[in-house]
């Protein structure tokens, strides 16, 4: 438990979280631009959830010895993971149970103060349909793999929750 606490209070732990998110974003761009798979609106929202994981890691890297910074980082981690799991679940439901009444929009609905699709359309602009499941690995769709990824992120966040938010005996921060 003490080793896990020291690990959670280090920059490397938070850097690994951010790096794993960067890996997922790069994989998404590989699927989009190298494998020529068009992302749908839900895929774009999932990218935003992964961006939240990257930001959570970067926040934690700022001052991992400070309790408040770790609290904000772990909170962002959990919110992004749970939101991402929900999005991936909804996307999987649209693909497994297609319905003309349950479709996704053609345009992302980002807040006016953060129009990611306008700022960076090559990453955050959808060009595909949510009901299309065009890629599988081991008979598991991309949406299902993302459900697994986000479930693992949630599990890891819950494992490190107590050690990360416990104050170190060597520090009063």
pLDDT in tens, the chain (173 residues): 566 666 667 788 889 999 999 999 999 899 888 888 888 888 889 999 999 999 999 998 888 778 788 888 889 999 999 999 999 998 888 877 777 776 777 777 788 888 887 787 777 877 777 666 676 668 778 888 899 999 999 998 888 877 666 665 554 44
From the candidates 8, 70, 130, 149, which is the catalytic residue?
A: 130
Please name the residue ranges forming H helices in 97-141: 116-119, 121-124
Active site residue 47: yes
From the candidates 3, 8, 11, 47, which is the catalytic residue?
A: 47
Active site residue 104: yes
Q: 122: how many CB neighbours lie within 10 A of its CB? A: 8
The Cα 87–Cα 92 span in angstroms is: 9
For 90, residues 6+ apart whose C-beta sits below 8 A from its C-beta are 42
Active site residue 130: yes
Q: Residue 73 phi/psi, 5° resolution?
A: -65, -50
User: Exposed, middle or buried, 82 (CB in 10 Å: 0-12/13-18/19+)?
Assistant: middle
Q: Which CATH superfamily is domain 2-124+135-165 in?
A: DsbB-like (1.20.1550.10)
Residue with tokens 């297609």: 98
């Amino acid at each position: 438990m003490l080793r896990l606490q020291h690990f959670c209070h280090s920059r490397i732990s938070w850097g690994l979280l951010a790096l794993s998110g960067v890996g997922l974003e790069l994989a998404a761009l590989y699927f989009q631009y190298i494998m020529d798979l068009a992302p749908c609106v839900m895929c774009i929202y999932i990218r935003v959830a992964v961006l939240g994981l990257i930001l959570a890691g970067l926040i934690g890297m700022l001052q991992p010895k400070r309790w408040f910074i770790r609290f904000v980082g772990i909170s962002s981690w959990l919110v992004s993971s749970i939101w991402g799991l929900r999005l991936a679940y909804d996307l999987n439901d649209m693909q497994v149970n297609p319905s003309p009444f349950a479709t996704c929009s053609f345009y992302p609905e980002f807040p006016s103060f953060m129009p990611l699709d306008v700022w960076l359309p090559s990453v955050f602009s959808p060009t595909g349909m949510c009901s299309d499941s065009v890629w599988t690995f081991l008979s598991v769709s991309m949406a299902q793999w993302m459900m697994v990824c986000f479930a693992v992120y949630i599990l890891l966040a819950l494992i490190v929750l107590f050690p990360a938010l416990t104050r170190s005996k060597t520090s009063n921060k």
